[in-house]
Structure 1
Amino acid sequence: MANSPAPALVLRDGDRDELVSWTRSTTIRAGLAVRARIVLLAAEGIANARIASEVGTTTVSVWKWRNRYIEAGLAGLADAPRAGRPKRVDDERIITATLTVPPKKYGVTHWSSRLLAGHLKIGNATVARAWRKYGVQPWRSETFKFSTDPELVGKVTDVVGLYLAPPENAIVLCVDEKSQIQALDRTAPMLPMRIGDVEKRTHDYKRHGTTTLFAALEIATGHVTGAVKPKHRRQEFLSFLRQLDRAYPEPELHLVMDNYATHKTPEVKDWLDKHPRFHVHFTPTSGSWLNLVEVWFSIIDKQAIRRGVFTSVKDLNAKIRQFITGWNDRKHAFVWTKTADEILMKANHKPTSETRH
């Protein structure tokens, strides 16, 4: 009978401490901890019905785990292997479906783990595991643009050569403009950062006009020569060139610039012809990222402009000048590491992607 009293269970040497540790563990499976309690209570001579009541199971289950322990010891308390073929997750099917555009009936541009799981009739956790395993991230998207410049190789080689091996007794300046910088003033005072709380500002703002920042980055030292102008025309660019002429009166100057039309007007060309110590090196079309001053522009944007509050264009210009002064006090060299061959090899993307796994 299942409810009949049973003799006290005799534990094998050393098993008591192990069973006690199972009952106290916070990481062991709950079922295994229950079985350990059953065996320990049985070893104290407690009746099967009372054991079943204490651990919340049936007397049939108590008999089962007593007998399993008698037959195989601690190993007998583990789950027995289940019959049948183990479940197989088809990662190839998941990834292939992920790389395929979702059917029109879903009306979406890319898969989510739950949508794909429902489409394939599997669990969304299974889809997520396959994505992590193969590094597939459908929710992410990036932009790209190929340069169609017929002189791409020559221009990349020229500019990178300046960075990696600048001419002796000469200075390399990366020159560009950051135009249409807005003087934005918030509609309410900003709430400063506090312990446990981030800085807050209103989502709406007042516009007070725009300005253009002309900058020349000296890559060997990180020094920046800057000027703020109301507009972005050849007149302002020529004025900035004259400023560079005064700032660097003696050495040869190699200017890295993009192909913006203002940089190639007849007036600018005439001025450069009259100042032969200025040597211009153009980046490829759609390749202004080769210009290191773009890195500095991102720094001033993040540290001084994006979260700034400006009550007027005059205030904006003053704070830009203030940042440049502070930057030049703590400046550092900008070091280029990629060779021209490495850049050109990476730029030569394959037109299609392979889906074999």
Structure 2
Amino acid sequence: MPIVLNASERHRLKKMAYGHKTLHQARQRATVVLLAARGRANARIATEVPVHVDTVRTWRGRFAAGELPALADRKRSGRPARFTSVQVAEAKAPTCQLPAGTGTPLSRRPCPELADELTARGITGTVSASTVRRRLHQDTLKPWRHRSWIFIRDPDFRAKAQQVLDLYTRTFEGILLGPDEYVISRDEKTSVQARCRCHPTLAPGQARGDARQS
């Protein structure tokens, strides 16, 4: 079918076909219509673009029927949403609570545990950890990075922790430490413990010795 363009359509199609920021698919469609307006056959247009001849026939026919708006992608229905907005909100709510508040013996809320909890509580059906992570990403929620107290099971936890917490405030057995008394933690960080040297100390090189003397 012949394609006839007016000045405005030709100008807009050229901007689409030669614009640096135009998407590749839009550039191809505009080029197909411009070549068709010059009287080129579908087979020749398919060779020059290059695309399949059926693609040329499709966009040529759509432009003839609907002009420029017909070159845009049609709306697609897609797969229907699996979870309602209420289910999504209920799925995000546990991530804003500490694990101990829900009786979960965890210090963090990883996505696999959240997915199992949603299914166990009947909020959703079977849901994968990746789906939970994608939903949380919409609101920039990252509960697996939140540090919280581990659920306490030891009945003597308060008495054991009190000794350590008192030392943080420089107190021992209810008495404040003096200015000449210190608290040293030997296992606060990995590989910072006091250890014997594995290798003997070596004398500095000639260049280092000269640098210190200068």
Q: Kindly indicate whether structure 1 or structure 2 has the higher relative contact order, using CA contacts under 8 Å at least 6 residues apart.
A: 1
Bigger fraction of residues in strand: 1
Q: How high is the TM-score relative to the length of structure 2?
A: 0.48
Higher fraction of helix? 2
